[in-house]
């Protein structure tokens, strides 16, 4: 998911502009997205259920009923 979110928009833009996607030319972009995904996974699941529930309640408090 991190790879799709992090690189998907830029690749789509480059394909529409008929250019070679920069993310495919530079493997550092792919590694950076994967590293960010691993860090996000460890933060979400490493702290246990309390962190996930608290974050979910915080984010849904901004939604309208």
- For 42-64, the pLDDT digits (tens) are 777 766 655 566 677 777 777 76
pLDDT-derived band at 2, boundaries 50, 70, 90: low
Q: Apex CA 44: angle with CA 32 and CA 23, to 5°?
A: 20
CA–CA distance, 40 with 37 (Å, rounded to integer): 5
Per-residue pLDDT tens digits for 26-36: 888 888 888 88
Task: Give the pLDDT of residue 18.
Answer: 93
CA–CA distance, 36 with 58 (Å, rounded to integer): 22
């Amino acid at each position: 998911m991190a790879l799709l979110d992090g690189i998907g928009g830029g690749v789509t833009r480059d394909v529409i502009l008929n250019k070679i996607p920069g993310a495919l030319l530079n493997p550092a972009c792919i590694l950076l997205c994967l590293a960010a995904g691993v860090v996000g996974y460890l933060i979400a699941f490493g702290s246990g259920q309390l962190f996930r529930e608290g974050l979910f309640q915080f984010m849904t408090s901004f939604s309208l009923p």
